[in-house]
Amino acid sequence: MKTPVIYALNYTVYLENYAGNSFIHCDCHKWTREIKLALLQDVNTLVQIHRKPLLAIHEIGDKKHLKFLSLMGFTYHSNFEGMDNIMRQLYVKEFKMGDK
């Protein structure tokens, strides 16, 4: 179940626990430079508080989502085949001691 962890006027960020891993989801309702900076700060704060890797599932070929993941500081981890037999990619944003 996705649990909202960040409510903002222009976006909502959710965490979902599966098999001991934390998956992140984000619904953006509007996008400006200021919103981008606020979201980035909020996600970085979430990583500091959570202190465990955040995972994101990426649909191969979705260039807009890939750009978003990169902007948020996620890095490629691996490919995997879902239960629906569709190949996807796993991206991760890890907590690093000393990150601010």
Confidence category of residue 25, pLDDT binned at 50, 70, 90? very high
CATH classification number, 3-93, choose in 3.40.47.10, 3.40.190.10, 3.40.50.1100, 3.40.630.30 = 3.40.630.30
What pLDDT does 97 receive? 67
Six token digits for residue 52: 């465990």
What pLDDT does 7 receive? 95
Nearest partner of 13 among 35, 81, 32, 21, judged by Cα: 35
Domain ranges of the chain: 3-93
What pLDDT does 91 receive? 97
H runs (alpha helix) in the chain: 33-50, 63-71
Residue type, 72: M
Buried b (16+ CB within 10 A) or exposed e, 6-25: beeeebbbebeeeeeebbbe
